[in-house]
């Protein structure tokens, strides 16, 4: 078994398993295998923004917030924005990736002239000396990626057109593959972060914390998440053999890929309490969340649990629409700043049908970006209580730039702030009530975090207290 830094990885896995996300069996819903990667470093960016809309002037640093989930329905044809850690690949291999993308546009960038002599010297030396065939296009892409990497910002990244195309189905709610979310820890080993409900991965027995050692017989312990994801992906009906390391022992799984429908919002009602689980901020989030909220109001629920655990982000306008179910028209959701300069604000679009309903938001270490914006806005504006563990802490803004060759550049341009003026980058959102949960509790269906949220709502109901406002 080839596995580097085994002891360190075991320690990291133990940490990761300390605060899983999930649904309590008392609500009649299956647990979500969403164990956060704890203190692990999630891999660099591959966030997705669909390319629609008109170009904007190069001197504008951001796009105005969209008003619709659908880019073709947005005034002026402006493209949607995305924020988040997680990117689900088209084959339903979801990689836990850091990202916060804002808009898309083609820019004619005016830059200082640089001396490219050394680059030319390297190229000429390779051409003259290298014993083998040289692909010039790959050399150019490698040089571009090296230039971006040298910035030293893990959120600024270069994506080829193919890489971008592979990720463009992210957040669509309909995927092909095995339904697994993977992430890269500080030790450089790719592990399972979570599996989707009713997915082939979950049915096969993959668990959060499993280290992916081999895919179809090839060693993956030194590979990136994107490489591992590319090896796992494939057409529905085909199979993939995955070998994982669990508790220092190898386990082998033969999994058949399939078409997976994964709505971003699920909900239920029990004992007068509504439960809304938002797994990502995707195409369907706004509409489904509104449907859930209306049903909860119609049933006259006395409280709502909004579960954002293991939700690593998505489209900013989806987060805007979700928060608007609690916030009044025009109320501030988040502010984007570059230094002391305010680049823009995202405000509630109205609706606020849950404004007077006592609300608790569940968060954990994999709650990030759009999820943190939503949780922070509900905390600051309507007094919603946060229960769980500290969120990830992703408070940066990126922008997608179209390159002339069809590739994409995602570059950090600003920070975002909660309505009360907090930037939670690295620090994360601290819960009002901290509740940890062990892997053993999670596997046994004992969701201590959800139970605490229900307890808080019951106490508020019994006391006649309205938590928001």
**Residue 107 designated active-site:** no
The DSSP code for 11 is H
| Tens-place pLDDT, residues 357-390 | 999 999 998 899 899 999 999 999 999 999 999 9
Strands 190-195 and 174-177 come out as unpaired
- pLDDT interval class at 461 (50, 70, 90): low
Asked whether residue 33 carries a pLDDT value surpassing 50, the answer given is no
pLDDT for position 9: 40
As a whole number of Å, the CA-based R_g of the chain is 22
pLDDT for position 169: 55
Indicate the SS3 state at residue 342: strand
193, 277 in Cβ contact below 8 A?
no
| Tens-place pLDDT, residues 296-327 | 999 999 999 999 998 888 888 999 999 999 99
Indicate the SS3 state at residue 321: helix
Question: Between the ranges 14-28, 182-196, 230-244, where is the mean pLDDT highest?
Answer: 230-244
Average pLDDT of the chain is 75
Residue among 102, 142, 107 at smallest CA distance from 317: 102
* Residue whose tokens read 């702030």: 417
pLDDT for position 195: 84
Asked whether residue 223 carries a pLDDT value surpassing 80, the answer given is yes
Residues 129, 132, 138, 142, CA torsion sign: negative
Burial class of residue 340 (count of CB atoms within 10 Å of its CB; 0-12, 13-18, 19+): exposed
pLDDT for position 38: 30
Largest CA distance in the chain: 81
pLDDT for position 188: 66
Instruction: Give me the catalytic one of 78, 394, 408, 415.
Output: 394
**Residue 426 designated active-site:** no
* Residue whose tokens read 């957040």: 171
The percent of residues above 70 in pLDDT, for the chain, comes to 70
Instruction: Please tell me the distance from the alpha carbon of residue 74 to that of residue 289, in angstroms, as a whole number.
Output: 20
Question: Between the ranges 96-100, 113-117, 169-173, where is the mean pLDDT highest?
Answer: 113-117
- pLDDT interval class at 183 (50, 70, 90): confident
316-323 vs 285-298: helix crossing angle, rounded to 10: 10
- pLDDT interval class at 43 (50, 70, 90): very low
Residue among 297, 332, 192, 167 at smallest CA distance from 255: 192
Instruction: Give me the catalytic one of 18, 264, 369, 391.
Output: 369
pLDDT for position 27: 35
Instruction: Please tell me the distance from the alpha carbon of residue 121 to that of residue 109, in angstroms, as a whole number.
Output: 25
pLDDT for position 247: 87
- State mean pLDDT over 290-298: 97
The per-residue DSSP string of 402-437 comes to E-TTS-EEEEEEEEEE-TTS---TTT-PPPSEE---
- pLDDT interval class at 463 (50, 70, 90): low
Indicate the SS3 state at residue 449: helix
Higher pLDDT, 72 or 423: 423
pLDDT for position 259: 86
Structure-token pair, residue 276: 């809304």
Asked whether residue 422 carries a pLDDT value surpassing 70, the answer given is yes
- Domain annotation for the chain: domains and CATH numbers: 6-21+174-261 (2.30.42.10), 265-394+418-461 (3.90.226.10)
Q: Which of 110-119, 149-158, 324-333 has the lowest mean pLDDT?
A: 110-119
Asked whether residue 197 carries a pLDDT value surpassing 70, the answer given is yes
Instruction: Give me the catalytic one of 371, 398, 415, 452.
Output: 398
- State mean pLDDT over 179-185: 75
- State mean pLDDT over 175-203: 80
- State mean pLDDT over 436-455: 85
**Residue 74 designated active-site:** no
98, 225 in Cβ contact below 8 A?
no
pLDDT for position 24: 30
């Amino acid at each position: 078994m080839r596995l580097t830094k085994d002891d360190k990885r075991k320690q990291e896995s133990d940490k990761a398993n300390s605060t899983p996300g999930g649904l309590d069996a008392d609500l009649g819903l299956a647990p979500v295998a969403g164990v956060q990667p704890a203190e692990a470093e999630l891999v660099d960016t591959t966030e997705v923004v669909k390319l629609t809309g008109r170009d904007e002037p190069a001197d504008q640093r951001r796009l105005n917030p969209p008003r619709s989930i659908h880019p073709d329905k947005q005034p002026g044809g402006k493209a949607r924005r995305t924020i988040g850690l997680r990117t689900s690949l088209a084959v339903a291999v979801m990689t836990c990736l850091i990202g916060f993308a804002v808009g898309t546009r083609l820019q004619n960038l005016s830059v200082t002239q640089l001396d490219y002599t050394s680059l030319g010297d390297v190229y000429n030396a390779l051409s003259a000396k290298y014993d083998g065939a040289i692909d010039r296009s790959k050399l150019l892409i490698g040089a571009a990626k090296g230039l971006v990497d040298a910035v030293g910002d893990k959120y600024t990244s270069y994506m080829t057109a193919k890489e971008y195309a592979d990720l463009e189905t992210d957040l669509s709610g309909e995927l092909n593959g095995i339904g697994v979310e993977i992430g890269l820890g500080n030790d450089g080993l790719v592990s399972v972060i979570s599996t989707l409900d009713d997915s082939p991965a979950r049915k096969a027995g993959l668990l959060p914390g499993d280290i992916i050692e081999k895919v179809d017989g090839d060693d993956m312990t030194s590979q990136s998440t994107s490489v591992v994801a590319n090896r796992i992906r494939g057409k529905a009906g085909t199979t993939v053999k995955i070998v994982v390391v669990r508790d220092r022992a190898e386990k082998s799984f033969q999994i058949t890929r399939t078409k997976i429908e994964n709505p971003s919002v699920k909900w239920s009602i029990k004992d007068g309490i509504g439960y809304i689980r938002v797994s990502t901020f995707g195409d369907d989030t706004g509409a489904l969340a509104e449907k859930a909220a209306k049903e909860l109001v119609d049933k006259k629920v006395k409280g709502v649990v909004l579960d954002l655990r293991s939700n690593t982000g998505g489209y900013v306008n989806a987060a805007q629409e979700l928060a608007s179910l609690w916030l009044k028209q025009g109320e501030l959701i988040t502010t984007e700043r570059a230094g002391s300069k305010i680049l823009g604000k995202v405000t509630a679009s109205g609706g606020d049908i849950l404004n007077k309903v006592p609300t608790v938001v569940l968060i954990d270490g994999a709650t990030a970006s759009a999820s943190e914006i939503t949780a922070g806005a509900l905390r600051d504006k309507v007094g919603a209580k946060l229960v769980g563990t500290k969120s990830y802490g992703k408070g940066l803004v990126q922008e997608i730039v179209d390159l002339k060759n069809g590739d994409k550049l995602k570059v950090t341009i600003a920070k975002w702030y909660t309505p009360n003026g907090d930037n939670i980058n690295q620090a994360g959102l601290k819960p009002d009530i901290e509740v940890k949960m062990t892997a053993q509790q999670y596997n046994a269906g004992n969701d201590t975090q959800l139970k605490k949220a229900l307890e808080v709502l019951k106490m508020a109901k019994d006391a006649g207290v309205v938590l928001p406002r």
